[in-house]
Amino acid sequence: MIEAVIFDHDGVIIDNQPYQGAAWTELFRENGINISEEDISTKIRGRPTLVGLKNFFEDKYTEDQLKELARRKEELYISFFLKDFKEVSGFSKFARKLHDLRIPMAIATSTTLDLLNITLDKLQLQGLFQVIVSSEDISESKPSPQIYLVTAERLGVTPDKCAIFEDSKSGIESAVAAGSKVILVTTSHKPNELNISGINLTIPDFSSLSPQQVLTL
């Protein structure tokens, strides 16, 4: 029986993948570089911005230069994302149902706390989650299971009693490695694009999902 539920942010709570991609594309365009969707998917998506930049550029830039690029990317992302903010269909209603059932919930994300708070404010969900773990709280990025192990510990439950909602390849690998039940939200990938064992349930969004489907995994 599931005792706690953990949500990733990008592509799970908010449908922001087009804006993340647009921000990355614009950042590289400003710097005279063409970037493919494959590069975004394999080297960047699901990871903190700075880690994505290091994956792409390796040793071509200094740490300070990479931090400035990361700052600019977040600036671009916010400008795109605020113009057309939308949640993944049914998320707020689903989260409130879990809250009414007194199921502990957490958000564990590579997103910064500042960006996460924008989402919670816009969706009026502040105070609904017992634990929030962001990129500032961890030393290892996904696919390391660290973020989910830390989140489960802070929730006071073992990882195998947690259900984790994820959308990215690195995020799913992280959740599987943590030993949790894993729900794939297909906002970033089609189900047949990810050849990963350990996915317990696949959903397009939360509109038809009941708490019992998750709690009985």
Q: What residues are labeled active site?
A: 8
Q: How far separated are the first and last CA of the chain, in Å rounded?
A: 7
Closest among 209, 211, 187, 193 to 13, alpha carbons compared = 187
- The alpha-helical segments, DSSP class H, found in 43-125 are 49-57, 63-81, 91-100, 113-123
Exposed (0-12), middle (13-18) or buried (19+): which is 59, by Cβ within 10 Å? exposed
Q: Do the beta carbons of residue 73 and residue 54 sit within 8 Å?
A: no
Q: Do the beta carbons of residue 183 and residue 214 sit within 8 Å?
A: yes
